Structure 1
Amino acid sequence: MFLDVLRRRNPRFVEAAIALHQAGKIPANSYVLDLDATEANARVIATEAKRLGLQTFAMTKQVGRNSGFCQAVKRGGIDRAVAVDLACAVACDRAGLPVGHLGHLVQIPRFEAAMAARDLKPDYWTVFSHEKAEEAARASKDVGRTQQLLARIQSEGDIFYRGHEGGFEAQDIVAVADMLDGLDGASFAGITSFPALLFDRETRKIKPTPNLATLGKAAEMLARAGRNDIAINAPGTTSTVTLAALAEAGATQVEPGNGLHGTTPLHALEDLPELPAVLYLTEVSHLHGKNAFAFGGGLYIDPVFPDYDVKAIVSREPTTAEAALRSVEIPPPLAIDYYAMIDAVSQQAPRPGDSVVFGFRGQAFVTRAYSVGVSGISRGEPKVETIENIFGEPESWPNLR
């Protein structure tokens, strides 16, 4: 869905990725990042968020917590990360993007709370239960800190992805706040839920979820109890064009992820301020029958849209031309994506070693792909800055530096 947007709005990025791959600078099975565009995207989001009085944390999981990406985001004016899990927090901290929000969506394991409190020192730490709050407080007390806690809340009718459920009853939020304030080593700082916004397939628009209303009602209960100055963390499908609606709904914290690289669902349908800044690059391995087989490893397409005809650019020359587009079959989600199958029935069949470029909404952190940061594309001087695994750790490629 995003390949057409890439070809039209950031063609130099596609061409640079192919050229670098053919020069032996980028490995197959890589999420490639346009660091110039990322910095510009972060700047436009940060500027609008600041105008609206919103605190911004960057989500980096979708692009493998790449250190070059983290630094580009920071240069763009977003100086804190939200970590989807502890591995994400460690990677962002190592990359120089301190952890602003920890524990949401994934809670911190009991025996790793001490490391989180000691080494990461997050600004905010989300807890789903009394037990998790006690663990965070105890770990923080042991290192002489008082940790600000966000209470994840939920109410009947709220929407959660299966496997994301959890949190305190929203109707009990005043008592929950008192309980968190009573912990030695912690204090109540605010409330959170996810998702606050979602893409609606029928209307093809971004809409608020019941969760956002739940946050608003809980904030009203807290205000009546004298708690007015609280954080209201409202992540989900965040980009520049959604910030005003979130601020109007009472949010004080936002967490752009796909918006930073121009791959929220709305980016596939409308030209938003953020440019597409990520693509997936691999190469043709071999031909068999009517297909060319391309190396997989990162072929996870986040299913925000119904199934569609997947296409890729297949070429050895830097191009975004329509003639280079090929239909591609990727393995179903239940299978291991060793290869993708490219239609090879044509007068000019793909050749082993051809570059293959996809544009889709990915989740690099659940794959075995590499992440590659490229600078200088906006100046016509593309240069590979980082080649890393999904934990944001450098990979050593002798021929690629």
Structure 2
Amino acid sequence: MFLDVLIRRNPGFVEAAMALHQQGAIPPNSYVLDLDAVERNARHFSTEANKLGLKTFAMTKQVGRHSGFCQAAMRGGIEKSVAVDLDCAVACHRVGMKTGHLGHLVQVPGGNANFAASQLQPDFWTVFSDDKMREAANAAHKAGRVQNLLARIQTEGDTFYRGHEGGFAAEDIRAVADKFDAQDGAGFAGITTFPALLFDQETRKVIPTPNLQTLARAREALAAAGRSEIEVNAPGTNSSVVLSALAEAGATQCEPGNALHGTTPLHAVEDLPEDPAVLYLSEVSHHHGGNAFCFGGGLYVDPVFPKYDVHALIASEPTSSRKALASVEIPDYSAIDYYGMIDATGPVQPKTGDTVVFGFRGQAFVTRANIVGVSGVASGTPAVTTIENIFGEVTGWPEKALS
């Protein structure tokens, strides 16, 4: 779905990644990042957010918490991260990107609360329940801090992905805020939900979910109780073109993730200011039964669109020509993606060792892929910076793996 826009808007990156793979600098099963483009995207996004008074926290999970991605975002003006889980916070913190928001979507495990409060010291910490509120407050009190807490709220009719449910009843928000403030080590800072915005398949636009109105009603209830200065965190399908709508709805925080590498659903159907800056790279392994098999490991195509015919660019030399496109079958989610299967019966005749480039919206952190940073695409001098695993740890795979 994103390969067309990738070829059209960032062909130099595609060709640079293919050349680096053919030189042996990038292994197959790699998410490859154009760090120059990430920096440009972050600068544009942060500039627009700052104009609207929005705090911006970068989501890094989609690209494996790569250190170069974090640093490019910081150079572009986004100084802090939103951590989908503790692993994100640790990876970002390790390279100097402090934690702006922790605990949403994944709550902090009880045994890690003291570490989070004393070592990570997040600006904001989201909790879904009284138990999690007390854990965060007690840990912060032990660390000699007062932690700003966000209450995840929900009400009947709100939208949640299955397995993401949880939160305080929005109708009880005033009592929830008072309860937070009464706890040593805690301070009520505001409210959050997810998703506040979603891509609509029919209109091909980003539209608000009922959750955004839930936030607005809760904010009004808090204001009526004298709490007029609160944080409203409204993540979901963020790109620079939706920021004004978020600000108008009362949001004070935004959390770009896919926007920073140009892979929100809206990027697939409209040319937005952010350039595509990530691709998935593989290599032809062998042939069987009319298919050329390419290495997998990172073939998790985020299902934001209904199933579609996946294509890849296959060649032995750098190219961004659509003549090198072939259809690829990837294993169903119920199977392990050891290989993708390229149709070798058409005009494209893959050879063992050929480079295979996909353009899809990924979630690298749930895969076993490498994450590879590339700098210098913009200047015509592309080079690999680091090869890392999905926890943002430099591996130098495979040569340094045993050192």
TM-score normalised per structure 1: 0.99
Q: CA deviation at 1:119?
A: 1.1
How far does the alpha carbon of each residue in 1:303-348 deviate from its partner, in whole angstroms, 9 at most, with x for none? 1111111000001111010111010000001110000000111465
Q: Is the 8 A contact 1:24 1:400 kept in 2?
A: no
* Letter aligned with residue 56 of structure 1: T
Q: For residue 299 of structure 2, what is the aligned residue in structure 1?
A: 299
CA distance in 2, matches of 1:399, 1:190: 48
Q: CA deviation at 1:399?
A: 5.6
CA distance in 2, matches of 1:289, 1:201: 36
CA distance in 1, matches of 2:361, 2:240: 18
TM-score normalised per structure 2: 0.98
How far does the alpha carbon of each residue in 1:73-97 deviate from its partner, in whole angstroms, 9 at most, with x for none? 0000000000000011111111211
Q: Is the 8 A contact 2:324 2:348 kept in 1?
A: no
* Letter aligned with residue 34 of structure 1: D
Q: For residue 62 of structure 1, what is the aligned residue in structure 2?
A: 62
* Letter aligned with residue 383 of structure 2: K
Q: Match of 1:374, SS?
A: strand
RMSD: 1.1
* Letter aligned with residue 236 of structure 2: G
Alignment partner of 1:205 is 2:205? yes
* Letter aligned with residue 329 of structure 2: E
Q: CA deviation at 1:396?
A: 2.6
CA distance in 2, matches of 1:129, 1:345: 56
Q: Is the 8 A contact 2:386 2:396 kept in 1?
A: no
Q: For residue 339 of structure 1, what is the aligned residue in structure 2?
A: 339
Q: For residue 2 of structure 2, what is the aligned residue in structure 1?
A: 2
Structure 2 counterparts to residues 291-370 of structure 1, below 5 A:
291-346=291-346, 349-370=349-370
Alignment partner of 1:159 is 2:125? no
How far does the alpha carbon of each residue in 1:67-126 deviate from its partner, in whole angstroms, 9 at most, with x for none? 000000000000000000001111111121110000000000111111111110100000
Q: Is the 8 A contact 2:216 2:250 kept in 1?
A: yes
CA distance in 1, matches of 2:371, 2:259: 18
Q: Match of 1:281, SS?
A: strand
Q: Is the 8 A contact 1:25 1:400 kept in 2?
A: no
Q: For residue 379 of structure 2, what is the aligned residue in structure 1?
A: 379
CA distance in 2, matches of 1:199, 1:391: 28
Instruction: Name whichever of 80-89 and 345-354 sits farther off.
Output: 345-354
Alignment partner of 1:186 is 2:195? no
How far does the alpha carbon of each residue in 1:171-201 deviate from its partner, in whole angstroms, 9 at most, with x for none? 0000000000011011000000000000001
Gapped runs of 5+ residues in structure 2?
A: none
Q: Match of 1:341, SS?
A: strand
Q: Is the 8 A contact 2:325 2:348 kept in 1?
A: no
Q: Is the 8 A contact 1:26 1:400 kept in 2?
A: no
CA distance in 1, matches of 2:237, 2:188: 26
Q: CA deviation at 1:398?
A: 6.0
Identity of aligned residues (%): 70
Equivalent pairs counted in the alignment come to 401
Q: Match of 2:217, SS?
A: helix
Gapped runs of 5+ residues in structure 1?
A: none
Q: For residue 71 of structure 2, what is the aligned residue in structure 1?
A: 71
Q: For residue 277 of structure 2, what is the aligned residue in structure 1?
A: 277
Q: For residue 142 of structure 2, what is the aligned residue in structure 1?
A: 142
How far does the alpha carbon of each residue in 1:132-182 deviate from its partner, in whole angstroms, 9 at most, with x for none? 000001111111111000000001100000000000000000000000001
* Letter aligned with residue 148 of structure 1: N
- Evaluate the alpha carbon distance shift between residue 399 and residue 380 of structure 1 in structure 2; reply closer, same or farther with a 3 A threshold: farther
CA distance in 1, matches of 2:74, 2:361: 22
CA distance in 2, matches of 1:266, 1:363: 17
Q: CA deviation at 1:400?
A: 9.2
- Evaluate the alpha carbon distance shift between residue 348 and residue 103 of structure 1 in structure 2; reply closer, same or farther with a 3 A threshold: closer
CA distance in 2, matches of 1:309, 1:111: 44
How far does the alpha carbon of each residue in 1:235-274 deviate from its partner, in whole angstroms, 9 at most, with x for none? 0000000000000000000000000000000100010000
Alignment partner of 1:253 is 2:253? yes
Q: Is the 8 A contact 2:68 2:373 kept in 1?
A: yes
Q: For residue 242 of structure 2, what is the aligned residue in structure 1?
A: 242
Q: Match of 2:378, SS?
A: helix
Alignment partner of 1:217 is 2:217? yes
Q: Is the 8 A contact 1:212 1:249 kept in 2?
A: yes
Q: CA deviation at 1:397?
A: 3.1
CA distance in 1, matches of 2:218, 2:125: 18
CA distance in 1, matches of 2:118, 2:81: 17
Q: Is the 8 A contact 2:326 2:348 kept in 1?
A: no
How far does the alpha carbon of each residue in 1:354-393 deviate from its partner, in whole angstroms, 9 at most, with x for none? 0000000000000000100100100001011111000001
Q: Match of 1:378, SS?
A: coil
Q: CA deviation at 1:203?
A: 0.9
CA distance in 1, matches of 2:58, 2:97: 9
Instruction: Name whichever of 165-174 and 345-354 sits farther off.
Output: 345-354
CA distance in 1, matches of 2:397, 2:201: 42
Q: Is the 8 A contact 2:61 2:364 kept in 1?
A: yes
Alignment partner of 1:97 is 2:101? no
CA distance in 2, matches of 1:310, 1:386: 28
Q: For residue 111 of structure 1, what is the aligned residue in structure 2?
A: 111
